[in-house]
Amino acid sequence: MTYQTQVAIIGAGPAGLSAALEVAKQGGKVMVFDENDRAGGQLFKQIHKFFGSGHHGAGVRGIRLGQQLLEQCIQSGVEICLSTVVFGIFPGNELGIVKDGRSHTVKADKILIAAGAGEKPLAFPGWDLPGVMGAGAAQTMVNINRVRPGNRILTIGSGNVGLVVSYQLLQAGASVAGIVEGLPKINGYAVHANKLMRQGVPVYLSHTVIEARGDGQVEEAVIAEVGPGFVPIEGTEQTLSVDTICLAVGLTPSVELPRMAELAMVHLPKMGGYIPLHDSHMRSSNPDIYVAGDVAGIEEASTAMEEGKLAGVSMAEALGLVSAQRARELAGEIEERIGELRIGSHGDARRMAKEEIVRGYEAWLAKQK
């Protein structure tokens, strides 16, 4: 059958739900689609307290923020279609969806792609052995499934994902043999790193993983110091007895649907790979398609929620649900909060990368005229 809606949102994670709520608040009809059987995206495995200030939900655990957002969406009349795969996006603002083994069509005035991101792999001899996995996978296992993926862990990458997941594996009763970082310094926040170091977890700076070894599964990891150009230094190899290697080497935006919709893209390694160009209010090169959250450049959940709201306001304005002046006011408030999330050494880099995406969009637009 064919469903009709004003706004169709792909992805019921922090960005998608935040956008849905914003449109619903303005009286718009919203349908949200997610292939998972539970809403919330990756928020429900974030059991740590978030940073930022009060209006970013700082001090509140991600899992609670997810519950609040979901409750607000349901109260506001947002229709959330779970266990529903969006397999295609077609001309004329049509989505192809599959639910319970049957395909249907969704026609929408505006579409938001908030499909999120996937973990990047890292190839080295033995990386395909069972026991080598994404750090996010280990996090899902302990915090959602309540099963340890292994008992003795080595984490590759000291960004916030590597640090937070390592700590959460400790909380789940695993031991962490170490954190390996190619750079000469810890890449994530000191507050996360310090919690691990207080527990005696060694951090191997200027090191890399050389090999995973084992008979049918990981039994040990070989690491070595790296010199200039991240080249391993011969003679510095050491073998650690571990059963699990968690890869925390970054995320890459899930851009299958943006590609299918032929959105103009830009390659920005800092933001995780190919990103759909978008204007400062999240509209892509197709005026009826918007993007928000990790699919619009890898950041974190707080920013994803704000970007979702921005896309929501932007779509509500385009649909005539809210006046241009009110939309400007709302967007201004959101942009101020996003600005607060993009400060500091990491935040500055993200802010500059986002500005590059918007500049790329403007250059693309100028060429169309």
The footprint of another protein (CB under 8 A) covers: 35-37, 42, 47, 61, 118-119, 121, 128-134, 136-138, 140-143, 145-149, 151, 171-173, 216-217, 254
Residue 159 vs 312, nearer CB to another protein: 159
- Shortest distance (Å) from residue 278 CB to another protein: 23
- The DSSP element (H or E) to which 266 belongs, if any, is strand 265-268
- Shortest distance (Å) from residue 243 CB to another protein: 9
- Shortest distance (Å) from residue 310 CB to another protein: 25
Q: Which two tokens stand for residue 330?
A: 């709302």
Residue 28 vs 126, nearer CB to another protein: 126
Residue 35 vs 335, nearer CB to another protein: 35
- Shortest distance (Å) from residue 116 CB to another protein: 9
- Shortest distance (Å) from residue 160 CB to another protein: 17
**What is the rounded (10 degree) CA torsion for 32, 37, 38, 39?**
-20
Q: Alpha carbon 205 to chain centroid distance?
A: 26
Residue 146 vs 267, nearer CB to another protein: 146
Residue 36 vs 93, nearer CB to another protein: 36
| Phi and psi, residue 172, nearest 5° | -90, 5
- Shortest distance (Å) from residue 144 CB to another protein: 9
Is the CB of residue 358 less than 8 Å from the CB of residue 278?
yes
Is the CB of residue 103 less than 8 Å from the CB of residue 85?
no
Residue 61 vs 328, nearer CB to another protein: 61
**Residue 315 CB neighbours (<10 A):** 31
Give buried/exposed letters for 75-85 (b at 16+ CB in 10 A, else e). eeebebbeebe
Write the single-letter amino acid at 195: K
> DSSP character for 231?
P
